[in-house]
Structure 1
Amino acid sequence: MRWTIKPIPAPEAIKRLSEELKVEPLIAHLLLQRGITNYDEAKRFFRPELTHLHDPFLMKDMQKAVDRIEVAMANGENVLVYGDYDVDGTTAVALLASFLRESYPNVATYIPDRYTEGYGISLKGIDFASDNDFSLIIALDCGIKAVEQVNYAKEKSIDFIICDHHRPGDTLPDAAAVLDPKQDDCTYPYKELCGCGVGFKLIQALSTKWGKGTEDLIAYLDLVATAIAADIVPITGENRILTYFGLQVINSQPRPGIKAIIDQIKKKRLTVTDVVFIIAPRINAAGRMKHAEHAVNLLIEQNLKSAQSLAKEIEVFNAERKNLDQEITDEALQQIEDNNEKERFTSVVYKEHWHKGVIGIVASRLTETHYRPTLVFTKSGDKLAASARSVKGFDVYNALEACADCIEQFGGHKYAAGLTLLEEQYQTFKQQFEEVVANTIDRNLLQPEISVDARIQLSDITPKLMRILHQFAPFGPGNMTPVFMAEGIQDTGYAKGVGEDEKHLKISAYQNGSSAIGGIGFNLGHKLNVVKNKKRFDAVFSLDENEWNGSVSLQLKLRDIR
């Protein structure tokens, strides 16, 4: 692990903010690192309000989108809400379809089949709309590059409204409205919304037009928070506000579908991390193993008993997904080993039988293991399809763009993308991708980094500090859990390996005569020798609370030691 200390704010800035907010210098230090420089900004950070959300009509084409939906409703048109098959897409479809159905009955949903239609807007989906007399399709979390598909729909007298957050291509689709804050000429103040977030801005605009307020939309925020967490977008600005209130809904009054998932896992209070690792994989499992319509049905279901039955089905899909994911990861790691590819700058693997629904997860696992930009390919019809994942700081989307002459189709983000290519292009692409990455990547990025917010003394760790840190949540990209470093600490003699094969490390640490504090280091059992016999060591950690037999104590959640 590479330990990097974040830039330390100027001492006079820390002193000024500390005095203005009446907080410890450490808290002022952490706030300044997050761009918070005065009382008003701190108040907005610690006390988000729905009134802080931007006016949805600031988004390019929002008025056009609202007008087209109102025309459809006035004329009794059939409206098809169309979305991608991942968490962002399915939550967005559930959100918009549920909202429209409150005041208009002629609304149906459509999610493309991952295997027969692939990512984005499909001609099959448009044919379905045409055959069933839909004259308006609202596409969510996809469509920004669907120029040909939208033209095809136009020939069949079907209009499109596109709500996307991916980067646009050179030509925009000829749609009735294109909502995407990443358009160069869109002056919307916040650019990092996910697909469901753009869908939320649309229902916020409709709600405003119909004389209602944002507070009337709170019940939809469990869907928005789930999408933000799952899509790994920055939890800053509007995303932070939406997640803050969305988590409150998840933990107090979630919709029946989300409640049914939570009831199965029996966890009391969910954080963003819990949403990412507990709720999101289950919603995703439907599209990976069967069909994502199962997830949409769960999320729009209003009866708890029916939702529980749907959640049980999805739990089975998730168990299947876990088994496949493990099996393919093992095979992929073996392939890298067999081909002696550990010294390469990239990991690119392929087997035609690998399940298309889990190659994205496998790509993430390989990136965690070998820490290289990674692509996992499988056979999809007469082509190869791949999921790409990247390491922190390297834009895999740009790298794929540099290999565009070998690729049939691609799309995505800086750290995650998908593509298809012809089988005969695989070896050429593999070599070209390796060359592009080798020529452009900073070698430091090939070693995992722990970013440290501040050096502290163990004596600085108090219940009061923990209470304030709780208020920094929700955590995520752009506002990660604060990570600290303490130097020259020792174990009391308690240190031991725990868990299966003693792969985790448990310690009791003190520093210069301070009181001892417990610590747990997951997957750090192999470093037991570093702390034994009261040897001095440095540690990087976040702070955590350990509940045991009804009592709560502070503990270090160790990230690394040396």
Structure 2
Amino acid sequence: MKIQRRTVNSSTDQVLDSDPVIDRIYKGRNAQSKDEFDYALAQLLPYHLLKGIDACCSWLYDAFKAQDRICIIGDYDVDGATSTTVMLKGLAGLGFTDVCYMIPNRIKDGYGLTPALVDRAISMQAQRIITVDNGIVSYQGVDYANANGVSVLITDHHMAAEKLPEAVVVNPNQLDCTFPSKTLAGVGVAYYVLIAFRAYLRDQGHDLRFNLLELIDIVALGTVADCVPLDKNNRLLVHHGLKRMRSGQVSHGIAALLSIAKRNPKLLASDDLGFAVAPRLNAAGRLDDMSIGVQCLMSDSAQEAHSYAQTLDSINLTRREIQANMLDEAQKSLETVDVKNEKIAIVYGEKWHEGIIGLVASMLKETHNIPAIAMANDSDNTILKGSCRSIPGLNIRDVLVDFDLQHPGVLIKFGGHAMAAGLSLNASRLTDFTEGMRALIQEKVTDDMLQKCILVDGPLPQSHRNLPFARLLLTKGPWGQCFEKPVFDDVFTLESVRKVGQAHLKLSVRDSEQQYDAIWFFCPESWFAVRAKQVRLIYALSINDFNGKRSVQLMVQHAQVVESLPIVS
């Protein structure tokens, strides 16, 4: 494990925050000026910079005047569910009276707008289709819709090809789009469409009282859950979403999910959305029907939302059990493989659940710090579906492109991003795929890439290891992808350790002034019986809220023994 202190940006003499620790943290994330932390709503990037937004507003206004029946087609992850919810609630608030929705099934329907989904929309009497968080590569689906007289508006954020489907398109990642932020989540694009159309309606003389800020908590959830980089524009959206949640102005659905997860909205951080709320929603898309997630987020009452949240929590418990079993099988299959030497973990389970393989690949990648691919059979056992996860420095989608060029005909289809990708291949070609990928990875992955690195913000002064500073950190974010939560590096006297649950460690540590509680989730087994005088902790500062009593807690990410105690026989 390599521990590396963040390089503090020295290109600016400007003081970014009056607190010197916060100032150091900001500069360690390459911030240039105070303007990057001005989260006034007026700082939101203007919608008119989005290519296609004028055509989009005209399309929506035609539908509005005719009151055409619109079908929103989303995706089966949290970004898709929140995008669908935001569009449904937003259009209703802006005066649309006939809007339905559809969430594809991950296994039966696959990803994106397909002719089969268009047929289902037509059977629902849809005259128009809006895609959210998908559609930018749905050429066949859009052509089929056009041939059947159904007009399509695509709102998406995924990478676009030079040729677009024959539809009205809003996507910051299409060619020649001047919108400065390319990291909007699908829900962010949907929200921008609503902002633009609300302004369009006002220009047409419509008296509107619907406040789009009522939706920003859902926008924040989808943005955090999709792990998009938190540039200033995304931080602004998440900032206002968290602000409303902490003030009690939260949708019934999110409030119910927070309650089920035992999270206090007043102390809410962005990682609570990512680690407590999002998995419960995602489980529905992986094992069941993401429509349950949409129904939870759409709930008009606390009672209704709580019922859906309980269902989602139950599905998530099942997901965790399936995932644990699959991961155990995957780890056992790797016992005879020198994964560090091969530099990739490729696992396959004949009876594995297709909706969970991405999580297994992620866990293997985290455990071994190597690229990982997990595969499962489709319904008729002739096709294998695979999910890939990568490490920094390796673009896994580019590796699949190279593999396809070298071994044409093995992959049926593939796609994705630098750190995550999906694929399908003929089951009979599994050996060809495994051997070919291992050879490519040997060429591309260096020993330096295999060394896991934790970036730290240096020591945290004793004067800042307290509740006021922990509360301050909550407000100085939001923290997340590419704007990581602060992590500190300090040496403490170790007073005690005890095992909690199956794989967690509770520590009591002390500096020269006071004692602190610390928790280390999924720590190495060797630490359960550690004996040491002093330990070096790599940790984040958090607030433990238990029975109304709040205290500082250190969230340990890594630890090292500084001085060991003698073993007494």
Using the size of structure 2 for normalisation, the TM-score is 0.88
Q: Tell me the residue number matched to 1:337.
A: 335
Q: Tell me the residue number matched to 2:384.
A: 384
Q: Tell me the residue number matched to 1:241.
A: 236
In structure 1, list runs of 5 or more residues that go unmatched.
none
Q: Tell me the residue number matched to 1:485.
A: 489
Give SS of 2:335's match.
helix
The question of 1:428 aligning with 2:432 is answered yes
1:151 to 119, 143, 157: 143
Give the 5 Å matches for 1:466-477: 466-477=470-481
The Cα offsets for residues 364-417 of structure 1, whole Å up to 9 and x where unpaired, read as: 122122222111111124422122222234322222222234322222222222
Q: Tell me the residue number matched to 1:183.
A: 174
In the alignment, is the contact (CA less than 8 A) between 1:260 and 1:304 conserved in 2?
A: yes
Q: Tell me the residue number matched to 2:257.
A: 261
Q: Residues 143, 67 of structure 1: CA spacing in aligned structure 2 closer, same or farther, 3 A cutoff?
A: same
Q: Residues 531, 245 of structure 1: CA spacing in aligned structure 2 closer, same or farther, 3 A cutoff?
A: farther
Give SS of 1:495's match.
strand
In the alignment, is the contact (CA less than 8 A) between 2:263 and 2:272 conserved in 1?
A: no
Give the 5 Å matches for 1:267-282: 267-269=263-265, 270-282=268-280
Distance in 1 (CA, whole Å) between partners of 2:45 and 2:31 is 19
State the shift of 1:124 in Å.
1.0
Q: Tell me the residue number matched to 1:371.
A: 369
Q: Tell me the residue number matched to 2:357.
A: 359
1:122 to 114, 120, 134: 114
In the alignment, is the contact (CA less than 8 A) between 2:505 and 2:528 conserved in 1?
A: no
Give SS of 1:181's match.
coil
Distance in 1 (CA, whole Å) between partners of 2:501 and 2:92 is 50
Distance in 2 (CA, whole Å) between partners of 1:22 and 1:99 is 39
Whichever residue aligns with residue 17 of structure 1, its letter is Q
Distance in 1 (CA, whole Å) between partners of 2:324 and 2:129 is 38
In structure 2, list runs of 5 or more residues that go unmatched.
561-569
2:134 to 127, 130, 142: 142
In the alignment, is the contact (CA less than 8 A) between 2:489 and 2:536 conserved in 1?
A: yes
The Cα offsets for residues 204-242 of structure 1, whole Å up to 9 and x where unpaired, read as: 111111228999211111211111111111122111111
Whichever residue aligns with residue 348 of structure 2, its letter is Y
Q: Tell me the residue number matched to 1:200.
A: 191
Whichever residue aligns with residue 364 of structure 1, its letter is S
Distance in 2 (CA, whole Å) between partners of 1:544 and 1:525 is 24
Give the 5 Å matches for 1:222-233: 222-233=217-228
State the shift of 1:35 in Å.
3.3
Distance in 2 (CA, whole Å) between partners of 1:490 and 1:133 is 66
Q: Tell me the residue number matched to 2:40.
A: 49
State the shift of 1:550 in Å.
5.9
In the alignment, is the contact (CA less than 8 A) between 1:115 and 1:356 conserved in 2?
A: yes
Distance in 1 (CA, whole Å) between partners of 2:356 and 2:156 is 23
In the alignment, is the contact (CA less than 8 A) between 2:114 and 2:140 conserved in 1?
A: no
Q: Residues 505, 442 of structure 1: CA spacing in aligned structure 2 closer, same or farther, 3 A cutoff?
A: farther
State the shift of 1:517 in Å.
4.1
Give SS of 1:114's match.
coil
Distance in 2 (CA, whole Å) between partners of 1:179 and 1:340 is 46
1:28 to 7, 15, 23: 23
Distance in 2 (CA, whole Å) between partners of 1:99 and 1:547 is 35
Q: Residues 379, 110 of structure 1: CA spacing in aligned structure 2 closer, same or farther, 3 A cutoff?
A: same
Distance in 1 (CA, whole Å) between partners of 2:537 and 2:513 is 17
Whichever residue aligns with residue 453 of structure 2, its letter is E
State the shift of 1:114 in Å.
1.4
Q: Residues 526, 306 of structure 1: CA spacing in aligned structure 2 closer, same or farther, 3 A cutoff?
A: same
Q: Tell me the residue number matched to 1:504.
A: 505
Q: Residues 33, 8 of structure 1: CA spacing in aligned structure 2 closer, same or farther, 3 A cutoff?
A: closer
Q: Residues 250, 431 of structure 1: CA spacing in aligned structure 2 closer, same or farther, 3 A cutoff?
A: farther
Whichever residue aligns with residue 479 of structure 1, its letter is F
Distance in 2 (CA, whole Å) between partners of 1:351 and 1:501 is 25
Whichever residue aligns with residue 360 of structure 1, its letter is G
Q: Tell me the residue number matched to 1:74.
A: 65
In the alignment, is the contact (CA less than 8 A) between 2:216 and 2:241 conserved in 1?
A: yes
Q: Tell me the residue number matched to 2:212.
A: 217
Between 474-483 and 396-405, the greater mean CA deviation after superposition: 396-405
Alignment RMSD (CA, Å): 2.6
Give SS of 1:392's match.
coil
1:104 to 96, 101, 107: 96
Distance in 2 (CA, whole Å) between partners of 1:192 and 1:442 is 28
Q: Residues 388, 250 of structure 1: CA spacing in aligned structure 2 closer, same or farther, 3 A cutoff?
A: farther
Distance in 2 (CA, whole Å) between partners of 1:230 and 1:384 is 27
Between 179-188 and 297-306, the greater mean CA deviation after superposition: 297-306
In the alignment, is the contact (CA less than 8 A) between 1:497 and 1:525 conserved in 2?
A: no
Q: Percent identity, please.
A: 28
In the alignment, is the contact (CA less than 8 A) between 1:521 and 1:559 conserved in 2?
A: no
Q: Tell me the residue number matched to 2:299.
A: 301
Give SS of 2:361's match.
helix
In the alignment, is the contact (CA less than 8 A) between 1:17 and 1:28 conserved in 2?
A: no
Q: Tell me the residue number matched to 1:326.
A: 324
Q: Residues 425, 162 of structure 1: CA spacing in aligned structure 2 closer, same or farther, 3 A cutoff?
A: farther
The question of 1:3 aligning with 2:3 is answered yes
In the alignment, is the contact (CA less than 8 A) between 1:503 and 1:525 conserved in 2?
A: no
In the alignment, is the contact (CA less than 8 A) between 1:59 and 1:186 conserved in 2?
A: yes
Q: Tell me the residue number matched to 1:94.
A: 85
Q: Tell me the residue number matched to 1:397.
A: 397
Distance in 2 (CA, whole Å) between partners of 1:88 and 1:509 is 42
Aligned length: 544
Q: Residues 215, 508 of structure 1: CA spacing in aligned structure 2 closer, same or farther, 3 A cutoff?
A: farther
In the alignment, is the contact (CA less than 8 A) between 1:412 and 1:418 conserved in 2?
A: yes
Distance in 2 (CA, whole Å) between partners of 1:303 and 1:148 is 39
State the shift of 1:461 in Å.
4.2
Using the size of structure 1 for normalisation, the TM-score is 0.89
State the shift of 1:527 in Å.
4.0
Distance in 1 (CA, whole Å) between partners of 2:445 and 2:138 is 31
The question of 1:311 aligning with 2:309 is answered yes
Q: Residues 288, 206 of structure 1: CA spacing in aligned structure 2 closer, same or farther, 3 A cutoff?
A: same
In the alignment, is the contact (CA less than 8 A) between 1:519 and 1:558 conserved in 2?
A: no
The Cα offsets for residues 431-468 of structure 1, whole Å up to 9 and x where unpaired, read as: 22222222222322223211012345546646664454
In the alignment, is the contact (CA less than 8 A) between 1:225 and 1:242 conserved in 2?
A: yes
Following TM superposition, the consecutive aligned residue runs of length 4 or more in structure 1 with deviations greater than 6 angstroms are 212-215, 528-531
In the alignment, is the contact (CA less than 8 A) between 1:377 and 1:385 conserved in 2?
A: yes
Distance in 2 (CA, whole Å) between partners of 1:472 and 1:520 is 22
In the alignment, is the contact (CA less than 8 A) between 1:79 and 1:138 conserved in 2?
A: yes
Whichever residue aligns with residue 282 of structure 1, its letter is R
Whichever residue aligns with residue 86 of structure 2, its letter is L
Q: Tell me the residue number matched to 1:37.
A: 32
Distance in 2 (CA, whole Å) between partners of 1:372 and 1:167 is 25
State the shift of 1:342 in Å.
5.3
Distance in 2 (CA, whole Å) between partners of 1:409 and 1:463 is 51
State the shift of 1:298 in Å.
1.9
In the alignment, is the contact (CA less than 8 A) between 1:78 and 1:106 conserved in 2?
A: yes
Q: Tell me the residue number matched to 2:14.
A: 17
Between 404-413 and 223-232, the greater mean CA deviation after superposition: 404-413
Whichever residue aligns with residue 395 of structure 1, its letter is N
Distance in 1 (CA, whole Å) between partners of 2:457 and 2:427 is 46
The Cα offsets for residues 147-180 of structure 1, whole Å up to 9 and x where unpaired, read as: 22222222222222111111123432121x2211
